Amino acid sequence: MSLLVKDVDSASDLTYQILTIYPPVSIENFSDNNCLSGDYEVSFDVSYSSGVANFFVNGIAYTGSYSELFPDGTAYNLNVVDENGCSEFFLSGNHNCGCTTNAGSMIDINPHYSCDSLCVDTRRLTLQLYKCITMS
């Protein structure tokens, strides 16, 4: 919205100022828990009361909506500013998608053995061979 502001004490019609008032923006439909292939998605819409808004996220321009993937378990820090610099939001958080259905690959399919009194780190089985031979 624009207003024409005129000095009432001025004899001249040329003394005026145009004042532009920008409406505030809002963030809607925020989500940071959509897990996709080991990543999670942060998404939201930005709008004025009259429709979609142009805005910046960490300095990059967007229109209407934002969506980005982040690696599982890492943090996001987003600075959202409308195109006029009037509304500013700081969004931060992280999401852990938990166990994924991809268990990885079996590089070494040879059997691994361990004594019943020892702990075996199964994450390292592809790097080391654990074997315990007992005498009968």
CATH of the domain at 40: 2.60.40
Q: Would the pLDDT of 83 be above 60?
A: yes
Has residue 5 been placed in a domain? Answer: no
Strands 26-36 and 39-48, bridge-based pairing: antiparallel
Summary mean pLDDT of the chain: 76
Has residue 2 been placed in a domain? Answer: no
pLDDT (tens digit, 9 = 90+) per residue, 12-70?
Answer: 656 667 777 888 899 999 999 888 888 899 999 999 888 889 999 999 999 999 999 99
- pLDDT score at 1: 54
Mean pLDDT within 107-133: 50
Which domain range does residue 89 map to? 24-94
Residue 81 to residue 65: CA distance in whole angstroms: 13
Q: Cβ neighbours of residue 131 under 8 Å, at least 6 residues apart?
A: 112, 113, 114
Residue 87 to residue 60: CA distance in whole angstroms: 16
Has residue 70 been placed in a domain? Answer: yes
Has residue 117 been placed in a domain? Answer: no
pTM for the whole thing? 0.62
* Structural domains of the chain, count: 1
Has residue 16 been placed in a domain? Answer: no
Residue 136 to residue 99: CA distance in whole angstroms: 41
Has residue 130 been placed in a domain? Answer: no
Starting at the edge strand that comes first in sequence, how are the strands of the sheet with 60-63 ordered? Answer: 60-63, 54-57, 75-82, 88-94
